[in-house]
Amino acid sequence: MASTTRGAQPRGVRDESECDAIVIGAGFGGLYALHHLRDKMGLSVRAFDGAGGVGGTWWYNRYPGARVDAPSSPFYAYTFSKELVNEWEWTETQTSQAAVLAYLEHFADRFDLRRDIQFDTWISDARYDENTQRWTIETDTGDRVTAQFLICAVGALFVAHKPDYPGINDFAGECHHTGRWPHVPVSFSGKRVGVIGTGSSGIQSIPEIAKEAEHVTVFQRTPQYALPARNRPITTDELSQYRENWDSLRATMCARGGWPFKTSRRRASEDSPAQRRARYEELWEQGGIHLAINSYIGVLVDKDLNHEVSEFVRDKIRETIRNPETARKLMPDYYFGTKRLILDNGYFETYNRENVALIDLREDPIEAFTPSSVRTREGEHKIDLLVLATGFDAVSGSMLKLNPKGRGGMSLVEKWDERFDTYLGTTIVGFPNLFMIHGPGSPGVFFTMPLGAERQMEWIGNCIRHLHENGLGAIESTPEAETLWDKEIKQIADHTLYPHTDSWYMGANIPGKPRQFVGHLRGSQYFERLAEVAEAGYEGFAFEEVR
Ligand code: N01
């Protein structure tokens, strides 16, 4: 294998080197890719990240209140090493951003990963050479590196979406996007704060901002369902039990789309309305995503059942909000669960504070910005600091930003002009030897992301081994396989209520983005498919001999 030959040259001088694989990204996926390829497979690997440290999404999303909004400690973590599971002490049930970042820093140190990661470095070009069957990347720091394999762990939620309201740049105060939060403390004290956006980031940050700010005005476009996270300290007993049962918990996660616990197989028709209501109450009290996934089969498929659960949550919101007019504006009216589920820590209660006001943009849209205010149709709202919690160009956005050039110099922007076609969510026709982690068409956010990244990476590693063992130089998915995969993803999504809702899952949050469901909804089935494809000699792929 070729070895890495990076010299200590000053910036601006081209540093040319060769290695077996280039990894882009140092979040959960990229760190694991580096560890797996280098330490388990013995390849020479170089990794790059535009951030100044490890962490990916957890490096950037430092807004107040940022926490894991999925089944959390100790499950939102690497699962492959029992030693790692045993040695890391999680302290809360819903892990904070700082704690996840500390964990990833520990991971990088424990496996000595930093020596092969170049931080503060953006990839300015990534290009495939059909003759050499290798990728060459160029960086903004003057490096040029070639490798047989390009692993893109560029993040599903990375490219921050800033709304293009006319005049938004006229606002002269501080303005921060939640996904690009400053690394120095942001003070809200004595300030009038405006928050645009009420997805996970807005709903997590608004209660924290309201505790400190003089006044908060929330600009809401779509009212949301949010379930109580019920974050609390995790006990040592709980942690020991998880550790003792780790193998079976991990197996359950693999079999149940990332969820570590047994779920109810009960049908709603087996219970009376009163019994169902009692069950919803119990799951609401339990908190987290239990209500969504553990009540009855088919909440995200059956319109009537979904309506009943939606109404239950709406009742909870009504009960919480003192001002009936505010409660009316906060009533979600889409199918429960079809936008990314949100876990909150006192979000609805925040509207009972005197220093918080809610503007419903559907009734009172933003018309202009001035240096010190947001003007809506019905009034002017004085603001010192603006928070944009307006989300991301999700899943496809970070790959398009990288915009690799494949066969014949075709760019990914051209290839994905109308649809984000992939095969297995990991490969793209026309882009040999390129692999994605959490690409469009893979389970990504519908599975516990660290475990999903591990399993995808292990599959990619086996695929690379297959090439090496068989004297093959390149692998590429076939157009037929890609078309069938696209159909399969769509078919699975169409069976559910997800496509009925405008969400980032559907690409609907970005003006002009093609409407397409971006994920694979059946995580366990997805990983079975990966295994079957490999067992069938990498069905759906074409190989080239080494040139
Ligand atoms: O982004 P979002 P997010 N004018 O797209 C609104 C993950 N995450 O950063 O619903 C006015 O969900 C938009 O309105 P609408 C998680 O997977 C994880 O909150 O499109 N409003 C919506 O209210 C999550 O789903 C964690 O009508 C505009 C909001 O902005 C994903 O990241 C924490 C607008 C955007 O919500 C994204 O969450 C946080 C406009 N022009 C997030 N454009 C953890 O696990 C958009 N909006 C820690």
Ligand 1: centre distance to CA 43 (Å):
38
Pair 422, 496: CB distance under 8 Å:
no
Bridge partners (DSSP) listed for residue 85:
none
Q: Does residue 260 have its Cβ closer than 6 Å to ligand 1?
A: no
Q: In testing the pocket of ligand 1, which one of 360, 509, 510 has its CB within 8 Å of the most ligand atoms? A: 509
State mean pLDDT over 134-145: 96
Residue to mutate, 101, 157, 362, ligand 1, most ligand atoms under 8 Å from C-beta: 157
> What are residue 3's DSSP bridge partners?
none
Q: How many helices (H) and strands (E) does the chain have?
A: 17, 19
The CA-atom distances, in angstroms, between 318 and each of 207, 224, 279, 430, 443 are 18, 13, 19, 52, 34
User: Residue 463 burial by CB count (10 A; 0-12/13-18/19+): exposed, middle or buried?
Assistant: buried
Bridge pairing between strands 117-118 and 45-48: parallel
CATH of domain 15-159+393-545: 3.50.50.60
Is the predicted pLDDT of residue 6 greater than 80, yes or no?
no
Q: What angle do CA 195, 196, 198 make, to 5 degrees?
A: 95
pLDDT value at residue 159: 97
Q: Domain extents for the chain? A: 15-159+393-545, 163-225+337-391
Q: Both tokens of residue 419?
A: 């649809």
Cα of 390 vs centre of ligand 1, distance in Å, is: 5
Number of C-beta neighbours around residue 465 at 10 A? 12
Per-residue pLDDT tens over the stretch 146-196: 999 999 999 999 999 999 998 999 999 999 999 999 999 999 999 999 999
- Say if residue 185 is preceded by a cis peptide, omega within 30 of 0: no
Q: Is there an atom of ligand 1 within 6 Å of 198 CB?
A: yes
CA of 198 to the centre of ligand 1 (A): 6
Render pLDDT for 272-329 as a digit per residue (tens, 0 to 9).
Answer: 999 999 999 999 999 999 999 899 999 999 999 999 999 999 999 999 999 999 999 9
**Residue 178 Cα to ligand 1 middle (Å):** 10
- Same fold for the pair 15-159+393-545 and 163-225+337-391: yes
Class of domain 163-225+337-391: alpha beta
Q: How far is CA 200 from CA 10, 22, 178, 204, 289, in A?
A: 42, 32, 10, 6, 13
> Do the beta carbons of residue 150 and residue 137 sit within 8 Å?
yes
The finding on whether 331 has its CB within 6 A of some atom of ligand 1 is no
- Ligand 1: distance of its center to the CA of 405 in Å? 30
150 C-alpha to center of ligand 1: Å? Answer: 30
390 within ligand 1 shell (Cβ under 6 A): yes
Q: Which atom of ligand 1 is nearest to the CA of 508?
A: 20
Q: Give pLDDT, residue 143.
A: 94
Torsion of CA 499, 524, 100, 68, to 10 degrees: 40
Ligand 1 pocket mutation, candidates 100, 201, 445, 447, criterion most atoms within 8 A of CB: 201
Res. 14 pLDDT band, cuts 50 70 90: low
Beta bridge partners of 150: 22, 434
The DSSP secondary-structure symbol of 439 reads -
With a 6 A CB cut-off, is 199 part of the ligand 1 pocket? yes
Question: In the prediction, which pLDDT does 10 show?
Answer: 39
Strands 15-24 and 45-48: parallel
Nearest CA to ligand 1 atom 5: 391
Model pTM above 0.75: yes
Of 180-189, 234-243, 259-268, the range with the lowest mean pLDDT is: 259-268
Distance from residue 384's CA to the centre of ligand 1 (Å): 22
Question: How much is the pLDDT for 263?
Answer: 85
Please give the distance, rounded to the nearest whole angstrom, from the Cα atom of residue 347 to the centre of ligand 1. 15
Task: State whether the beta carbon of 66 lies less than 6 angstroms from ligand 1.
Answer: yes
Region 443-461: mean pLDDT is: 92
**CA gap 58, 30 in Å, rounded:** 13
Query: Taking 80 as the threshold, does the pLDDT of residue 342 lie above it?
Result: yes
Among 63, 227, 390, the mutation site with the greatest number of ligand 1 atoms within 8 A of its Cβ is 390
User: Would you tell me how many other CB atoms lie within 10 Å of the CB of residue 536?
Assistant: 9
- For 384-406, how does the pLDDT look when each residue is reduced to its tens digit (9 = 90+)? 999 999 999 999 999 999 999 99
Q: pLDDT tens for residues 52-110? A: 999 999 999 999 999 998 777 899 999 999 999 999 999 999 999 999 999 999 999 99
Residue 60, ligand 1, Cβ within 6 A:
no
Task: Report the atom number in ligand 1 closest to the C-alpha of 200.
Answer: 19
What pLDDT score was predicted for residue 266? 94
Q: What is the pLDDT, as a whole number, of residue 1?
A: 33
> Mean pLDDT, the chain, as a whole number?
95
Task: Give the distance (Å) from ligand 1 centre to CA of residue 161.
Answer: 9
Substitution site in 340, 361, 438 for ligand 1 pocket (most atoms within 8 Å of beta carbon): 340
